[in-house]
Amino acid sequence: MIFTETALSGAFTLDLEDKPDDRGFFARTFCRDEFVAHGLKPDVAQCNVSVNHRAGTLRGMHYQLEPAAETKLVRCTYGGILDVIIDMRPDSPTYLEHVAVELTRENRRALYVPGMFAHGYQALTDDAEVSYQVGEFYTPGYERGLRHDDPALGIVWPLPVTVISDKDASWPLLEREAS
């Protein structure tokens, strides 16, 4: 695997090092030792899959507080998504900054999302399928979220939002500091 750190410390894209032969190719998508060598949490508590029927579908922006902060390894296995992460670590120099990464079946790229990062994505194609390994169990009492369209975040989504859950559309806007 090829690990490339994003502009947000601790968040990485992972590209495959494929080994082609007459049958196709083989590549490793996860290796505990390689994760540890890059300072990443290799624990997997659960694996999830989502199918998004319509392009424009938006899921997120979710995160969990400590002690239940989730790491995620996200990969699009069919179609394509724009995956967005936001640094929610209050002491981080990149607090509230975001990175967007296109994950597609064709590029086979994955995104490692550290704990205390909000995460969400928009389907770029109909029937986009996303699988992700999560390092902590879903813990509703620690769940938090941000609005995908919060002007304070400045996220530019490539498509109009066609489908979003009531919960995701209802997260509060970030509070503005008084001038």
Catalytic residue numbers read 62, 132
Contact 34, 98 (CB under 8 A): no
Q: How far apart are CA 116 and CA 38, in angstroms?
A: 18
CA distance 88 to 65: 9
Sign of CA dihedral 39, 70, 3, 153: negative
Answer yes or no: are the C-beta atoms of 44 and 72 closer than 8 Å: no
